[in-house]
Amino acid sequence: DAGVTQSPTHLIKTRGQHVTLRCSPISGHKSVSWYQQVLGQGPQFIFQYYEKEERGRGNFPDRFSARQFPNYSSELNVNALLLGDSALYLCASSLAKSGGPARETQYFGPGTRLLVL
Amino acid sequence: ILNVEQSPQSLHVQEGDSTNFTCSFPSSNFYALHWYRWETAKSPEALFVMTLNGDEKKKGRISATLNTKEGYSYLYIKGSQPEDSATYLCAFKYSGAGSYQLTFGKGTKLSVIP
């Protein structure tokens, strides 16, 4: 079975532009989470979606938005890009409600590396 | 702000050596502790999920323990091999609003020298 896939793998944008990153979860997984990892830091939680509804949001500005589609794939959108948005963006999927959220394992994709110039 | 601390930041060990590293997290509102292994240019791979104080998990040569009262978890690798070279991340879940999100430490980068 395919794991979590993300596209594109790499992206270069300039300040002020917007970007859309895409994620396809593992088949059967209904929840998708997005994380941002900047150099030298651990991944930071941005959003989680379950059944097309936002279930959680991290401490990120409104320039960041996301949505989940009926097939459970997801998009992360970032508007008015800043240099500081340069990072690896990770998507993770989970079954959700599998033994409760405590034991819910999130399975990660390889990430999209975004460079903002 | 919840802080998850991992130590050391990096270490180099010889093939065959055993090693361990630490993850510290807030002991209040504990919900779960996850360990991941992340090899360069690959996706983070889930190793363990632990929820109960005193939990011990084992997968091959890798094992982990959990102390929720004092807020730490240890990851042990017995007889390190070059293929164990990776960054090991721990991630904390807290009860309530944070029960669905992972709060990560910065990771411990392990290099195993053949």
Element (H, E) at B11: strand B10-14
User: How does strand A107-108 pair with strand A112-116?
Assistant: unpaired
User: How does strand B19-24 pair with strand B5-7?
Assistant: antiparallel
Inform me whether the pLDDT recorded for B6 exceeds 50: yes
CB distance from A25 to chain B under 8 Å?
no
Of B36, B49, B101, the CB nearest to A48: B101
The answer to whether the Cβ–Cβ distance between A108 and B97 falls below 8 Å is no
DSSP per-residue letters across B40-109: TTS--EEEEEE-STT-EEEETTEEEEEETTTTEEEEEESS--GGG-EEEEEEEEESSTTTTS-EE---EE
Q: Which of B9, B44, B11 is nearest to B23 (CA)?
A: B9
Q: What is the mean pLDDT of chain A?
A: 93
CB B39 within 8 A of CB B86: yes
Please give the residue that has the higher pLDDT: either A114 or A97.
Answer: A114
Element (H, E) at A87: strand A87-94
Among chain A residues, the shortest Cα distance to B31 is held by A102
What's the pLDDT band for B94 if we cut at 50, 70, 90?
confident
What's the pLDDT band for A99 if we cut at 50, 70, 90?
very low
pLDDT tens for B10-54 read 999 999 999 999 999 998 888 899 999 999 999 999 999 999 999
CB B61 within 8 A of CB B5: no
- pLDDT of B98 reads 67
Residues A48, A54: Cα–Cα separation, whole Å: 6
Among chain A residues, the shortest Cα distance to B47 is held by A105
The answer to whether the Cβ–Cβ distance between B100 and A55 falls below 8 Å is yes
